[in-house]
Structure 1
Amino acid sequence: MKTTKEPKVKLTLSVKKSAIDNAKKYAQLDGSSLSSIVEDYLVEYSKSNKAENQSDFKNSLAYQLMGCAKGGPLDNMTDDEIKDIRMKDRYGL
């Protein structure tokens, strides 16, 4: 999986020697490099986790409750004002 003219950066990993040896053998049989295998894995891993995280959030209680407090007493206040009120309530300041 080739990327478009994106600069390559060096990455140092600590991995068991046996895992590296096996991965190098696999890369050689596959006709690719260990670097390209790791890069492809990282790209696919980040895509799948992003989709899973978005799906998890949409199924969460927080997502379901978003916007339900509109028109409430804190609706016209800034975040800093709300924070000040909470600090006063919590610590008696």
Structure 2
Amino acid sequence: MKTTKEPKVKLTLSIRKSAIEQAKRIVASQGTSLSNLIEEYLVNYTKPEQEAGLSKPSLADQLFGCAKDGPLRYMTDKEIKDLMVKDKYGL
């Protein structure tokens, strides 16, 4: 990533604590920081499609496979729906 003389500003985000802790461990092993990772992601995400050389993947493409090893992988759709209803209404 290019280094610029552009001033940096603080950004406050609300993210699950476990996600932040896991991300910090990963970026530390790669010799960078979470701030740098997020900045790089935002720079690449906001590049025009022609400059990036690729079109941005749809939300469905970005999420594809994210739950394949999740706790719901062996549940049927009906079981998941029942679980969500119970959670929502405290049953």
User: Share of identical aligned residues, percent?
Assistant: 57
Greater per-residue helix proportion: 1
CA distance in 2, matches of 1:17, 1:49: 32
The TM-score normalised by the length of structure 2 is 0.51
Larger relative CO (CA 8 A, sep 6+): 1 or 2? 1
Question: What's the counterpart of residue 46 of structure 1?
Answer: 46
Question: What's the counterpart of residue 6 of structure 1?
Answer: 6
Question: What's the counterpart of residue 21 of structure 2?
Answer: 21
Q: Which runs of at least 4 in structure 1 moved beyond 2 Å after TM superposition?
A: 48-53
Q: How many residues align?
A: 53
| Gapped regions of structure 2 (runs ≥ 5) | 57-91
Deviation at 1:2, TM superposition (A): 3.6
Which of these two proteins has the greater Rg computed from alpha carbons? 1
CA distance in 2, matches of 1:27, 1:6: 23
Deviation at 1:34, TM superposition (A): 0.6
